[in-house]
Amino acid sequence: MRQPSVSNLADHMKAVHELRRAYTALPEDVPVRLAKPTSNLFRFGRGGNAHRLDVSAFTSVISIDPDARTAEVGGMTTYEDLVAVTLRHGLMPLVVPQLRTITLGGAVTGLGIESSSFRNGLPHESVEEMEILTGNGEVVVARRDNEHRDLFRGFPNSYGTLGYALRLRIRLEPVLPYVHLRHLRFGSAEEAMAALERICAEQRYEDEAVDFVDGVVFGRDELYLTLASFADRAPWTSDYGGSDIYYRSIPRYAGPGPGDYLTVHDYLWRWDTDWFWCSAAFGVQHPVVRRLWPRSLKRSDVYRRLVALDRRTDFSRLLAYYRGQLPREPVIQDIEVEVGRGAEFLDFFHSEIGMSPVWLCPLRLREAPGGEGDAEPVWPLYPLRAGRLYVNFGFWGMVPVRPGKGRNYHNRAVEQEVTRLGGHKSLYSDAFYSEDEFWRLYNGEAYRKLKAAYDPDHRLLDLYAKCVGNR
């Protein structure tokens, strides 16, 4: 196993000085992008005419304070590396996104979610302090209570268009060595959403604390909620990095019985091994292929590189064409609606999109607005309502293009339905909003104020150009 990089604050400060000098020296007439070895965005083929900013010095864990339960971390550090260090202290970040190579800064500026989000919110809510290289070339430290509080609040969902996080201080929480999983089956979305709301409110089920909640939808009448709890001991532990596949184990372990057990490490990365279920596209779920495919290559970043290669070569589209198959539209999205609208969204999804499985994950903001009656959203660029339980639905795959419809028909239908239901859509994948619609949904007024303050010369792309214009 690769050892995570650990640096110190003096090295970090030197790297900040060098990065700021490098940024200032770049010509101002060409966009700037980060030179990162990994990405979890699904906007391929961008940035041909752009300066690449070397941020390799910011991929380290700087320090862990076990007593205060905090970590100082470089902004480009992956959660895989961060977790490898924190678990040695019996700690973990409050929210660990599902894929190993998501970076801490990426999860904050681009949002992240996981099965602890029903009690711990989103990753940016555990941040105490951010050091940010802004678009104007300054390096500022933003906190909830200092002169850069507006940037602190506006950084989530800005996708690197206001600046880049170089260092973050985050809160951690204690863990136990194992996680006990119980899978509950439901025959309708209405039943599942009602149970989800009740369990998340009580944070208990059948006299056992519930520390994590997520689920999978296999069909209209087959939905599962997975309730997971920390455990001191385990009678056994499953291994989903070998021949077994995690999502296929869910129906097997559902219902009466002892459930399933994982080490806390394997629980955190249970979805990464098969990129949820998307490894099937590469044959990795076939028993023969799976035996031959090395464990070290059962990783989301490996699968994503294969997708990027396919996009560059157009291989799968050409193969489908010569086989006489209908063109297919990639539908790769994460959306959120309030739990009371979850069944309504799934009804639309089964009828209009027809993809299976679907991941679901509840979330509730940790923080409420500052003052009583304060109408301003806590995080202005992704204005979820405090005190409300939302359900994130994630779906990733290909669907046949409908005759007479445009190639983006299904994606646009999802966007329109989510808007109708008062929900939100993550911007890590392609978006198809008009400019007026986009700025209305993602608080263009607040964004323009931040852009004027921290990137007045527009050295970085704006949010619409990056997330919808795919530049």
Tokens of 197: 């709301």
Q: Considering 271, 295, 314, which residue would you say is the last residue of a domain?
A: 271
Tokens of 263: 């080490």
37 in Cβ contact with 305 (< 8 Å): no
Same domain, 36 and 51: yes
Same domain, 151 and 187: no
77-94 tens-digit pLDDT: 999 999 999 999 999 999
Chain center to CA of 90: 24
Q: Provide the phi-psi class of 389: left if phi over 0, else alpha when psi is between -120 and 50, else beta.
A: beta
Is residue 104 situated within a structural domain?
Answer: yes
Is residue 165 situated within a structural domain?
Answer: yes
Averaged over 178-196, what is the pLDDT?
98
Instruction: Output the pLDDT for position 364.
Output: 96
End-to-end CA distance of the chain: 36
Tokens of 400: 């046949």
Is residue 293 situated within a structural domain?
Answer: no
Instruction: Say which DSSP state 161 is in.
Output: S
Same domain, 195 and 156: no
Tokens of 300: 């989301």
Averaged over 221-241, what is the pLDDT?
97
Instruction: Output the pLDDT for position 394.
Output: 96
The per-residue pLDDT of the chain, averaged, comes to 90
Tokens of 143: 């906190």
Same domain, 166 and 67: yes
Q: Provide the phi-psi class of 365: left if phi over 0, else alpha when psi is between -120 and 50, else beta.
A: beta
Q: Which residue has the tokens 């799968």?
A: 316
φ, ψ of residue 93 in degrees (nearest 5):
-60, 155
Is residue 52 situated within a structural domain?
Answer: yes
Omega of the bond prior to 287 within 30 degrees of 0, cis?
Answer: no
Q: Considering 271, 297, 317, which residue would you say is the last residue of a domain?
A: 271
Same domain, 48 and 162: yes
Same domain, 17 and 151: yes
145-174 tens-digit pLDDT: 999 999 999 999 999 999 999 999 999 999
Same domain, 99 and 162: yes
Instruction: Output the pLDDT for position 64.
Output: 96
Same domain, 39 and 147: yes
Same domain, 141 and 100: yes
How many domains does one find in the chain?
2
251-296 tens-digit pLDDT: 999 988 899 999 999 999 999 999 999 999 899 999 999 999 999 9
Instruction: Output the pLDDT for position 372.
Output: 42
Q: Considering 206, 239, 271, which residue would you say is the last residue of a domain?
A: 271
Query: Which of 20-24, 84-88, 465-469 is predicted most confidently?
Result: 84-88
Is residue 442 situated within a structural domain?
Answer: no
pLDDT of 1 over the 60 cut:
no
Distances (CA, A) of 45 to 66, 195, 267, 422: 42, 42, 33, 31
Instruction: Output the pLDDT for position 404.
Output: 82
Is residue 455 situated within a structural domain?
Answer: no
Whole-angstrom distance, CA of residue 86 vs CA of residue 172: 8
- Residue among 384, 389, 423 nearest 201 (CA): 389
265 in Cβ contact with 83 (< 8 Å): yes
Tokens of 357: 């499985």
132-150 tens-digit pLDDT: 999 999 999 999 999 999 9
Whole-angstrom distance, CA of residue 170 vs CA of residue 167: 10
Instruction: Output the pLDDT for position 36.
Output: 63
Is residue 426 situated within a structural domain?
Answer: no
203-227 tens-digit pLDDT: 999 989 999 999 999 999 999 999 9
152 in Cβ contact with 141 (< 8 Å): no
Same domain, 36 and 138: yes
Instruction: Say which DSSP state 333 is in.
Output: E
- C-alpha Rg value of the chain to the nearest Å: 22
Name the more confident of 391 and 56: 391
For the chain, how many residues are written? 471
Instruction: Output the pLDDT for position 101.
Output: 93
pTM (2 d.p.): 0.92
Same domain, 137 and 220: no
Same domain, 112 and 197: no
Domain that holds residue 235: 178-271
Is residue 366 situated within a structural domain?
Answer: no
What contacts 207, CB < 8 A, 6 or more positions away?
none
